[in-house]
Amino acid sequence: GTPVVITNAGGLKETITHEQDGYIVEVGDVESLAKWTIKLLTDDTLRAEIRHLAQESVKKFDIKKTGMETIVLYDEIINNERN
């Protein structure tokens, strides 16, 4: 897991929990972008903690797990249509 600072635009914000496995800033908020980037670059302990949490959180995007969840969802939709 790589610690990241992202903007709240697009789909990336769906993958990061602010101050847990990365940092999310408003689009155009250069001060916050700089603040969090500098914090990650200068705080080895924080960077290691964020890295560990990011490695754990990425597991929820496992292709097999996501595939099975999709199948279950489709089954529920089909069953609801039949009833």
Q: Report yes or no on whether pTM surpasses 0.85.
A: no
Residue 1 predicted with pLDDT over 80: no
User: Strands 5-7 and 23-25: what pairing?
Assistant: parallel
How does residue 25 score in pLDDT terms, banded at 50, 70 and 90? very high
Instruction: Give the Cα separation of 43 and 48 in Å (integer).
Output: 9
Residue 15: the pLDDT is: 87
Residue 73 predicted with pLDDT over 80: yes
The arithmetic mean of pLDDT across residues 37-62, rounded, is 90
The per-residue pLDDT of the chain, averaged, comes to: 91
Instruction: Give the Cα separation of 26 and 76 in Å (integer).
Output: 37
